[in-house]
Amino acid sequence: MPLLVESVFYWSDLFGTAVFAFSGVLVAGRLRMDGFGVIVLAAVTAIGGGTIRDLIIGAEQVFWVGNPVYLWVILATALIGQYLARLPRRLPWYILPLADAFGLALFTVIGAEKALNHGTSGMVAVVMGVITGVAGGMIRDVLAREVPMVLQREIYATACILGGVLYTGALALGLPALLATALGMLGTFVLRIAAIRWHLSLPAFSLTR
């Protein structure tokens, strides 16, 4: 991958880390946690999925251990986020969902790409993309004593699956890596935004009639 593209990916990854961390800050604020609790929820949301992925695929080093900049981003987001969340005049409601959808799309492709680079099959790479995108939020919700959003009717993990399939499928067809990345991210992003815009959801499983 060209150096410029790698640089854009890296800074976009840090942006996605900050967005996911801020969602953890908001949950911690809703539960009236102390400063340490805010940092913990911010951290698990932002890097929990990538950590699990790296452990499963046997990476030589978990990504944030080799690059502590991710930890500094999380810490800064946790501190600044507590101030921003209290501002009486906040950003338009759609800004955070858009940023979250972008981060989800990016994390999905990054997770799948890293898995493929470690010799996994395409199916495993898709799973690793999903884990990278949603596992941190699942840990956050469990710590907050809530049913994880991805286990309910919300179209979130499904968007990751679509993006992962598009990405790995494009590579399998011999398409350039950059095009495969664009397809994977676009698929995840569009499905997630469509689900928010038109309130799309999966059918619920119930034993009651």
Cβ atoms 171, 115 nearer than 8 A:
no
Q: Which domain holds residue 117?
A: 3-197
Report yes or no on 119 lying in a domain: yes
Q: Whole-angstrom Cα distance, residue 107 to residue 85?
A: 24
Report yes or no on 159 lying in a domain: yes
Q: Per the structure, how many domains does the chain have?
A: 1
DSSP conformational letter for 60:
S
Both tokens of residue 5?
């593209």
Q: Where are the alpha helices (DSSP H) in the chain?
A: 3-30, 35-57, 63-66, 69-84, 95-117, 122-143, 157-172, 177-197
82: closest CA among 47, 36, 136, 45?
36
Cα 122 to Cα 69, 85, 89, 159, 169, distances in angstroms? 30, 40, 45, 17, 8
Report yes or no on 204 lying in a domain: no
Report yes or no on 188 lying in a domain: yes
Give the pLDDT of residue 206: 77
Give the pLDDT of residue 1: 58
- Report the alpha-carbon angle 141-164-179, nearest 5: 135
Give the pLDDT of residue 94: 87
What letters, b where the CB count within 10 A reaches 16 and e where it falls short, cover 166-195?
Answer: bbbebbeeeeeeeebbbbbbebbbebbbeb
Angle at which helices 95-117 and 122-143 pack, to 10 degrees?
A: 130
Report yes or no on 205 lying in a domain: no
| Tens-digit pLDDT string for the chain (209 aa) | 567 778 999 999 999 999 999 999 999 999 999 999 999 999 999 999 999 999 999 999 999 999 999 999 999 999 999 998 887 767 788 899 999 999 999 999 999 999 999 999 999 999 999 999 999 999 999 999 998 988 888 899 999 999 999 999 999 999 999 999 999 999 999 999 999 999 899 888 778 76
Report yes or no on 132 lying in a domain: yes
Report yes or no on 206 lying in a domain: no
Report yes or no on 53 lying in a domain: yes
CA quadruple 109, 115, 118, 120: dihedral sign? negative
Cβ atoms 144, 47 nearer than 8 A:
no
